[in-house]
Structure 1
C-alpha cells in the first residue's frame, strides 16, 4: 500500500516495492512534485531496506538541488 506522511502543506505519499531482480520507489510530495526510480537489480534481503533508504535520500537530495522547475508541460499530449 501507500505510505502517507502529513505535512504543513498537505501530505507526502510514497510506495516502495521489490520483486526478485527489481527495486522501485514512487513519490508524490505535498508541493506537487513527483518522481519514480526503478532499478533492474536487488540486493540480498538484509540489504534491501538500507538500499531503499539510500535511494529515497538521494532522490530527495536531487529534487532539492533543482533551482527552477518548468512551468509548462514538457511532453506533447
Structure 2
C-alpha cells in the first residue's frame, strides 16, 4: 500500500489507533532521509515524524515519564 505524498514521501503502512479519549493516525513513511514513523493527531492537527533513534529513546523510557506528557496536556 505505497502512496506517494506531496513532500516526496512514500506511505508504506497506515493504521488508526482510537479510544474514548484520543485518535491518532500512525503511518510508516519512507523518504530520501530514511524511514520514519509519522504520528498525526486530527483533533489537534499536529503531525510529527520520528526516526529509529528517537523511537528507541522513547522505548527506553519508563511509563511514568511518558504519562507526564498526558498530565501536562490537561
* Common topology (TM > 0.5): no
Which one has the bigger strand percentage? 2
TM-score, normalised relative to structure 1 = 0.39
TM-score, normalised relative to structure 2 = 0.40
